[in-house]
Structure 1
Amino acid sequence: MASATGSPRPMPESPSSSAKAGKHGRFRRRLRSRIIVSFVLLGFSLTALFAFATNWARQRVESQLVEEVMNRNVDEYARRYYVDPTHAPDVPFQQLKAYFYPREKFERVREERPEWAALPNGNHNVSGVDEDGKPFSYKLAVRKADDTWFFLAYDMTESMRGEQQLKRALFLSVIVFSLLSLVLGWWSASRVMRPVSDLAARLRAYRGGTRHPEPLAPRFPDDEVGQLAEALDDYSARLTEVVQRDREFNADVSHELRTPLAVIRGATELLLTRPGLDEKMLQRLQRIQRAEQQCSDLIGSLLLLSRNERGQGCSNVARIAEQLLEAHRAQLGGKPLELLLEGERELVVDAPEAAVSVALGNLIGNAVKYTQEGQVRVRVLDNAVEVIDTGPGLSEKDAASLFQRGYRGTHAGHSQGGGIGLSIVSRLCALYGWQASIRPGDGQGVVGTLTFAPAG
């Protein structure tokens, strides 16, 4: 059975690669956005902190100055009153209003100004709304002696209006400087990200090939991005060397392994044409012929996987399954196992027979290996093939890990094998768009399913 590799056809972009590209694009947008947001937060925080500090300092300084003036004046007011109680002392400032109440007027104060009467000695802030609905604010200095109460009010209404205007100006400055930080952040992010985006664009532009990639480091300044480009150049050189060695190895394998297999095939076919062969010799020669065919199929499939190329061909699944079952029947010995083929006989897939034989052969081989008695049935469906056995079954851990490279199932025991057969099946499925699965059977055993890509 010759392997038909044919010419490679373009592979559609896989969803995983699209998802990765979208993820990287979102990462770049998020990185640029983080730079912009950092600038905006920094500008907003500094401006808001400055505005808060300015307003707090203004209030503190103003409060200290006003209270100092009021303390001096209320003390002076009380001193003058005690010098000449018959005349109310003059108030030295226009914004200040002084009041004094002797003992006989204490009740009047409690009735007319109960809030003043309840205040202890010291300076107090008083605010509210007057009869006309206008807000007012003043500081009130209180000095209560046993015989006289002194009150000195300092009008803070204009100061309150000035404070409101200052707060509006500070709020506006916070908004303006935040917008300026946004503009500066956007400009800085564009400048910072431009060399990174240029480097990413040059990396995406190189799609591989036989030529060496153009060095990146000379196109960037000697900064962090330049160091990254230099590291990428070094990695690219080492990767190109590895790829070149891989190509040479593939070419050597294709030539050096196919040549002795061709010699074995020719010698086997020649021996099979000799008359008078006894039954044992005939069986051994047929076994050698099947082993040579399996090696050729496996080599062809592995070469396709190494080059990531889809081979073309028209493969009859039922015929390949029958050949595989016949090969296993010859190796059963005295094992009480029945190998059956059921279902459609006309299913044809667009793939080399080597690829179908390796993928389906691994499923059949595992079923035959682990089923000690009973049946192994290969059922060909409209667009899939099932391998059903009556073996020891399948655990949940095995079902989740069987297609991992190097994993050997619970029932592998001391049997030969490196646990890479189903891994090769998984890689072939990814190459051709097939699907492979293994699940527990209805009663016992397992069911392996190979679903082919729809035609067209």
Structure 2
Amino acid sequence: MPEAALPEPVRKRGRYRRRLRSRIIVSFVLLGFCLTALFAFATNWARQRVENQLVEDVMNRNLDASWQSYARSGGADVMAPVQQMRAFLIRPDMPDRLNSLRRDFPEWERLQDGIHNISGEDADGKPFSYKVGVRKTPDAWFFIAYDMSQALRGEQQLKRALFFSVIVFSLLSLVLGWWSASRVMRPVSDLAARLRAYRGGNAHPEPLAPRFPDDEVGQLAEALDDYSSRLTEVVQRDREFNADVSHELRTPLAVIRGATELLLARPGLDEKVLQRLQRIQRAEQQCTDLIGSLLLLSRNERGQGSSNVARVAEQLLESHRAQLGGKPLELELEGERDLVVDAPEAALSVALGNLIGNAVKYSQEGRVLVRVGAGMVEVIDTGPGLSEKDAASLFQRGYRGTHAGYSQGGGIGLSIVSRLCTLYGWQVSIRPGDERGVIATLTFTPG
């Protein structure tokens, strides 16, 4: 079953500190890369489309010119006006040319009328590429060949230039994004640094808005100033209320203490009366300790002093023994007697008293053992145990365990314990016992 302990922070600040800056930089890089890549693709596509249209148009005009030359010469001659193009004429009475065509360009014989792309490797392994224009008549076949090798070399050079352009502009986008992110995030980082530097020591913190321009960051600083002002008022009222309550309660508690001491000083008191007076005295002391601890918690201040853990535990156990009311439960103390912690007895009494009080409340029989060890104290009971739901929620304010039933209590005792542990640097955990019950551990030296 899982161990119930103080909740850990959900997120680590350092891990997410520069996420917004990184988003801005990545956005710039992606924008620059996508725009440059799109421009490169469009440039290459437009070049290919225009080149193909121009070449095919010229080849069609050369086919027409070759046919006209053939017709004018009475079938004796065929000529391509463009120097880069070669014209071929094959008639049935030219078997040598037909055999040469079949030997050198076997695929040309199967071509239909129109413009065709022919590519491959020659006998020497060099790549070649042609555009071949074909026009076939019953009397003759006309071929116009245009060597595309130079155009392909130019295309490869253009692709390399476009590729390096994409890389260069992406790097420029990275630099621009880094610079822009630094400029954009500088006011936000400055605002965050000023907020972190403020520790709440001043009742009237210095306003943030005058230090920032009237833009989005300035509006955020103004909203934070307003929130800080309202929060300061709430905290101030809370502190004043706690101080007033503490002051007003101390007076009647002092009266109760004085009256109890006077009554206890009388000789010949009945045993039952003496027990009741001692119970009133212990309750007054518990109230005084609790008021002092809560006042320190509200101020987030540590009390001064040192406490012997075994002595405080013995006092608490003695107080609970007087309240058992016949319950078959043994309260025992064992372990070290010299463990001293740097905290006032009031704070230790409240923290340890809540753990012992819960153990006594939920254990109907058996024993409650308080074991003082090296830098720690354990409260072991023989109660009904700990459920998974309880283990996950015990230290939440107002939560009452599944075994609480109709018992008195508001579910704030363990919440106070966890707050005291945070204030004094202690650790508290509650886990199921080896056989039954639970084991509550209060550690004074974090391990």
Q: Given the two structures, how large is their TM-score scaled by the length of structure 1?
A: 0.89
| Distance of 1:161 and 1:403 partners within structure 2 | 75
Deviation (angstroms), 1:130: 4.5
* Number of the residue aligned with 1:168: 160
Deviation (angstroms), 1:297: 1.1
Asked if 2 retains the 8 angstrom alpha-carbon contact of 1:384 and 1:450, the reply is: yes
What is the 5 A alignment of 1:22-101? Answer: 22-23=14-15, 26-27=16-17, 29-101=18-90
| Distance of 2:433 and 2:189 partners within structure 1 | 53
Distance 1:403 1:283, change over 3 A: same
| Distance of 1:279 and 1:217 partners within structure 2 | 69
* Number of the residue aligned with 2:442: 450
What is the 5 A alignment of 1:56-455? Answer: 56-103=45-92, 105=95, 106=98, 108-130=100-122, 134-453=126-445
Distance 1:172 1:379, change over 3 A: closer
| Distance of 2:190 and 2:371 partners within structure 1 | 55
1:379-401 deviation per Cα after TM superposition (whole angstroms, max 9, x unaligned): 22232222222222222222222
1:352-406 deviation per Cα after TM superposition (whole angstroms, max 9, x unaligned): 1111111111111111111112222222223222222222222222222222221
Deviation (angstroms), 1:232: 0.9
Asked if 1 retains the 8 angstrom alpha-carbon contact of 2:379 and 2:441, the reply is: yes
Distance 1:211 1:406, change over 3 A: closer
1:392-437 deviation per Cα after TM superposition (whole angstroms, max 9, x unaligned): 2222222222222211111110010011111111122222222222
Q: Given residue 74 of structure 1, which amino acid in structure 2 is its aligned partner?
A: L
Deviation (angstroms), 1:107: 5.1
Asked if 1 retains the 8 angstrom alpha-carbon contact of 2:63 and 2:80, the reply is: no
| Distance of 1:101 and 1:291 partners within structure 2 | 124
Deviation (angstroms), 1:20: 4.5
Asked if 2 retains the 8 angstrom alpha-carbon contact of 1:103 and 1:146, the reply is: no
SS of residue in 1 equivalent to 2:391: helix
| Distance of 1:36 and 1:447 partners within structure 2 | 52
Deviation (angstroms), 1:30: 2.6
1:187-214 deviation per Cα after TM superposition (whole angstroms, max 9, x unaligned): 2222211221222222223222234222
Deviation (angstroms), 1:180: 2.5
| Distance of 2:203 and 2:416 partners within structure 1 | 30
1:158-188 deviation per Cα after TM superposition (whole angstroms, max 9, x unaligned): 2222222322332232233223222322222
SS of residue in 2 equivalent to 1:450: strand
Greater Cα shift, 150-159 or 109-118: 109-118
* Number of the residue aligned with 1:12: none
Q: Given residue 83 of structure 2, which amino acid in structure 1 is its aligned partner?
A: Q
Aligned length: 439
Deviation (angstroms), 1:265: 0.9
Distance 1:168 1:442, change over 3 A: closer
1:42-70 deviation per Cα after TM superposition (whole angstroms, max 9, x unaligned): 12211221111111111101111110111
| Distance of 2:438 and 2:181 partners within structure 1 | 57
SS of residue in 2 equivalent to 1:277: coil
Asked if 1 retains the 8 angstrom alpha-carbon contact of 2:304 and 2:344, the reply is: yes
| Distance of 1:164 and 1:337 partners within structure 2 | 93
| Distance of 1:83 and 1:34 partners within structure 2 | 72
1:48-96 deviation per Cα after TM superposition (whole angstroms, max 9, x unaligned): 2111111111110111111011112113323432454541222211111
Asked if 2 retains the 8 angstrom alpha-carbon contact of 1:432 and 1:453, the reply is: no
* Number of the residue aligned with 2:3: none
| Distance of 2:104 and 2:440 partners within structure 1 | 99
Asked if 2 retains the 8 angstrom alpha-carbon contact of 1:391 and 1:446, the reply is: yes
SS of residue in 2 equivalent to 1:103: coil
| Distance of 1:102 and 1:347 partners within structure 2 | 118
| Distance of 1:352 and 1:61 partners within structure 2 | 90
Unaligned runs of 5+ in 1: 1-14
Distance 1:266 1:404, change over 3 A: same
Unaligned runs of 5+ in 2: 1-6
Deviation (angstroms), 1:142: 1.4
SS of residue in 2 equivalent to 1:379: strand
Distance 1:418 1:428, change over 3 A: same
1:200-244 deviation per Cα after TM superposition (whole angstroms, max 9, x unaligned): 222223222234222222222222111111111111111121122
Distance 1:447 1:190, change over 3 A: closer
| Distance of 2:161 and 2:446 partners within structure 1 | 70
Asked if 2 retains the 8 angstrom alpha-carbon contact of 1:436 and 1:450, the reply is: yes
| Distance of 1:187 and 1:388 partners within structure 2 | 61
Q: Given residue 384 of structure 2, which amino acid in structure 1 is its aligned partner?
A: P
Deviation (angstroms), 1:301: 1.5
| Distance of 2:79 and 2:246 partners within structure 1 | 116
Asked if 2 retains the 8 angstrom alpha-carbon contact of 1:406 and 1:418, the reply is: yes
| Distance of 1:176 and 1:440 partners within structure 2 | 63
Q: Given the two structures, how large is their TM-score scaled by the length of structure 2?
A: 0.91
Deviation (angstroms), 1:108: 4.6
Greater Cα shift, 171-180 or 150-159: 171-180
Q: Given residue 40 of structure 1, which amino acid in structure 2 is its aligned partner?
A: V
Asked if 1 retains the 8 angstrom alpha-carbon contact of 2:62 and 2:82, the reply is: no
| Distance of 1:307 and 1:101 partners within structure 2 | 107
Distance 1:202 1:383, change over 3 A: closer
Distance 1:382 1:198, change over 3 A: closer
Deviation (angstroms), 1:443: 2.4
Deviation (angstroms), 1:251: 2.2
